[in-house]
Every structure is written in C-alpha cells, then in structure tokens.
Chains A and B, each alone.
Chain A
Amino acid sequence: MSRIELRVNGRNVEVEADGRTLLTHALRDHLRLTGTHIGCDTSQCGSCTVHVDGKAVKSCTILAVQAAGCDILTIEGLASGRELHPMQAAFNDFHGLQCGFCTPGMIMMAIDIVNRHGRPDEATVRAELEGNLCRCTGYHNIIKAVCAGAERMGEMA
C-alpha cells in the first residue's frame, strides 16, 4: 500500500491504495466519487472519462499514482452548487441521454472538445466522440447537446 496524493475537483486528497490501483477505482472506491462510471474495462467505452491536467483521459487506463500531482476534474466538479455546468444543462435540455450510464464520460469529453475546438461543427463532434460509446440514444441528441453546450460555454466565456 502506498499513500497517493491527488488533487480532485480543486481539493487536495490522499488515498491509501495499492500501486496497481487505477485512477477510476481511486475516484470511485476510495473517494466515493461514483459519477465516473466503468462501462467496459477494456479502454473502449469512455464512460470513465475525466480530465487530467485539463485533458480528457480514460481513468481506467491510467494508474492513480501516474496522476499524482496532477489536477483531476470529474463530473462532480462541474456544477456550482445547484447550478449545472452549461454542458450538463444542454444534455438535460436536448435530451442527450436515455439510461444515463455513458453521460458523465460524454459530458467530460464534450467539455474537452469545446476547450480545443471552441464551437465545433457536427462532423467534428462526431469524430471527437469516437472514444465514447452510447448504446441507447443513437448519438443524435448527444451531438445536438454538445453543439448547444459549446455555444452556451462560448457565451459565458
């Protein structure tokens, strides 16, 4: 067991965990931040997407120790109090989910897309969401939500 220092959603935290502990398990099991989901365990589905130093990564494909000293942002870190992040609000307004399992990863990826592309067109959103699987929606409303969320984030900036 080792003591791993992480900075999660702006807070410095310590977890006591094996070296092999994946970031996603440190978040979910040690810090009880269960908004980050595990959908596949094969690095394909993107449900576990979080930001590490401002970049979207799959938290099932990085050890917690590898992220030590980095700034980690999870779905729980987006809203301010009861006010949703504009991308969360857009997913709500545009019905960008059905079962909701993939949604935390979709939203974290969507924000990463906006951070890099500003207001992306539909083709860019579709290409950039390659690493996030949704088995319910058929993606149409997710794409609409990401485009609308991008616009709202732009207005706020």
Chain B
Amino acid sequence: MYDLGYSRPATLAKALELLQQDDLAQLVSGGQTLMPVLRARLAAPSQLVDIARLDDLRQICTIGAGIEIGAGMTHAEVAASPVVRAHLPALAALAGGIGDAQIRHRGTIGGSIANNDPAACYPSAVLALGARVQTNLRMLDAEAFFAGMFATALEPGEIVTAVHFPACAVACYLKFRNPASRFALVGVFAARLASDEHRIAIIGGGNGVFRWHEAERHLDRGAGVDGLDTVPLDLANFTGDIHGSADYRRHVAKVITRRALTQMA
C-alpha cells in the first residue's frame, strides 16, 4: 500500500470540507473493497476520510410504508435489523449473504452502492425496488444513480447518506456463487411492487446492474414463470471471463430468475 494520510472527521460537513480541499482524498467507510484495492496498489489516494462512525449515517427507520437505511449501516446490521426483517425480509436476507461474516461486520450499504461493483448484491435490490439514494446534495432515483460498471451519478465531493426503500408486496434475492471466490457469478432480485408491477434486476453480468424489462412485461401480463425461457434477454448485458462466457451467464440469469420467482410465489 502506498502511504496515505487519514482523518476521522466528527461531522459530515467536516468530511465534505476535507474532500473539497483535496481532489485526491478518498472516502472510506467499511473499507472491505477499498482495503484490498489499496493493498494491491491499484489506487493511490492522498488521504482517507473515514465516515464509518458518523451518527448521521447510522440509522434504520420506517418512513411511511417504506424504510430508510443510513449509508453507514453494515451488512450485518441490516441483516439483523428488526425493521428491515419486518418490512423487506428479502433485503435482510441479501445483506446476510454478502461476502462472509467478517466482511459483513465492516462493509456498508453506502459503500456498496457508491462503488457499484458489477457483482455486488445491493445494487440489484436498489434498482428492483425503485429505491432512492439520498446524498448530501440531492435525492436520486435508482435508475439515475447507477451508470454502468463501477460508475454512478455521484459527483466529486458528493456523499451517499441514506437509501430509501419503498414498501413492496413480495421479493426474493438469489445468487449463483462462483464456487471458488463465493462472489456472485449472477444475482437476481425479483420483486412484485406495491403497485403489483414486477421488477427483475440482475447483477453479475459484467456491465453493471440492469433490469430485464421483457421478463417484467411478461409477468405483468399474468404469464407464468415457465414461459420465461422464451422471453428474450439481451446478450449485450453480459460479458465473458475465465469464470464463464457471456452465454453461460445469460443462461444462469434465466435459471436464477425462475428460481427466485418460484420462491416468491
């Protein structure tokens, strides 16, 4: 790791000030992606601005029929939260399946979505459920927030502070783990929203989270899960690597979608 400075500002305002003063400063919360990146010398920030302990980012509460999760909440805290388990059990289950127990004790929802790793689990739930991302500057719809692999709409000096999830009727997240790394080769968040519309969001394709609109329309018409086999799923959403070809990933995505919908029913 290249040497770097470190500060743990007491307020969000102070953290923003540090980011504004130094273009090469990097936010860190749980650091469960950032630390391996730094150790491998794939990044060289001048300093880390640690926001993991800011009280403003560390709450889970209901807002109307939905819930708000502070950006600094760890995966373990989201998985164990009575509020999340009661309102969005599929989201609690997703959080409880990220990485391993040690990672879940440090990694945060804000860090996960701001990083937008194409194989990260959280972006699928945020997109499928039509969640909104609150930053220090504005509120962004999920559709506007995610911008492809490792890319988001976040501007320099903008910090995710919370994610607002609306209520949904029923949902299920399933992933097919790479047998060696245990990372999601493909993950599918399937949901029937409060409006009765269906949503299918897929991660692991390689180009970032995306919705399978054709399948959503198929389900909204009242057609069954079995018929999904013939519903088109654009191959351009998938890339191949040593773990699987684009074709294979697309096949797995269809299988996992079917399983998620079957579990949801």
Contacts and interface: CB of A to CB of B under 8 A. Distances in A.
A155 interface: no
A112 B101 contact: yes
Contacts of B36: 42-43, 61
Contacts of B76: 55
With a 10 A CB-CB cut-off, give which of A46, A113, A130 has the most chain B CB atoms: A130
Contacts of A62: 31, 35, 106
Contacts of B9: none
A63 B101 contact: no
Contacts of B248: none
B35 A19 contact: no
A49 B106 CA distance: 12
B38 to A, nearest CB: 8
Contacts of A60: 35, 39
Interface residues of B, number: 28
B50 A130 contact: no
Contact of B103 (A109, A112, A131): A131
Instruction: Please report whether the interface of chain B is mostly helix, strand, loop or mixed according to DSSP.
Output: mixed
B230 interface: no
A57 interface: yes
Interface residues on A, range: 20 to 34
B99 interface: yes
Interface string B89-112: 000000000011111011000000
Among all A-B residue pairs, the 4 with the closest Cβ atoms: A131-B100, A130-B100, A55-B105, A61-B35
Given A66-B6, A131-B103, 15 more contacts: A20-B3, A20-B4, A20-B38, A22-B1, A42-B36, A49-B102, A57-B105, A61-B36, A61-B102, A63-B6, A66-B50, A109-B101, A112-B101, A131-B101, A131-B102
